[in-house]
Each structure stands twice: as structure tokens, then as C-alpha cells.
Amino acid sequence: MKANVPLGASAEVSLKASPETLASYVGSGGLDVFSTPWMIALMERAAAAAAEPCLDPAFTTVGIAVDVRHLAGTPPGATVKAVAKLISADGARLTFEVRAEDPWGLIGEGRHERMIVDADRFLGRVSGRASGAPGNEEGR
């Protein structure tokens, strides 16, 4: 593994609460508010962005755990900002403190873990799983 992601590495990303990001659209609820799945995705984007500049080009990170709380609703049209800060690194396992805010304050917080992986090796394992999927005679 070729990485040296320093503790405290951080990044922030923003996204406008558009119709496609609403709970009513993604099926995570019936209300026209910024959805929990999109909040989590934004938090993951921030964590990935914090780690990516420190990795050799052959490596990337993949999300492996999410433990967050969605604390407040955000109306359509508002901008949501997610911030991730690396708080622990154990070999290839990175743990980030994540939070999300809208113009009125904190809407979510928690922790997110990512694993540093060799992109080609990881995709090779995924491809191997797909070729051995039920119903695929070639993978048996």
C-alpha cells in the first residue's frame, strides 16, 4: 500500500438539494426533504476527497462502514455541505469524523470508515465474483 494519509486530513464538499436528492424521489421516505442516503453519499465523497491526494495513482479508497445520525431536515434548493476529518489510521483502514450542515446548522454527524485498496486488484476480485455468480455457468 502506497499511502500516507496524515491524521487531521480533511475535505469538504457541497451539493444543492435538488429533486433527485429528496427522500420522496429516492424512496427513503415520502417527504420532499434532503434524503439520508444522499447525506451519507456526500459524507463519503468528503472522506474520499480527504484521502485521495495522499494516495499513489494505483490506489483508491472504498467505503466499508457508516455510523451516522440524520438530525434535521433540509428543504429543496438549500445547499448541504459535508466535512470529513481523518481521526484514525490503522494500516489501510481510515476512520473519519463526518458532519453535514445546511444554511441553518448541523443536519448530520457520525463516523465513516474507508479502506485503502489497489484499484486493479479490487476490481479483479469484483470481476471474479461476478463470473462466479449463480446462473453463470462459466464461473462454476
Catalytic residues: 36, 44, 70
- Using CB atoms within 10 A of its CB, is residue 33 exposed (0-12), middle (13-18) or buried (19+)? buried
Q: Are 99 and 71 in contact (CB under 8 A)?
A: no
CA distance 26 to 42: 15
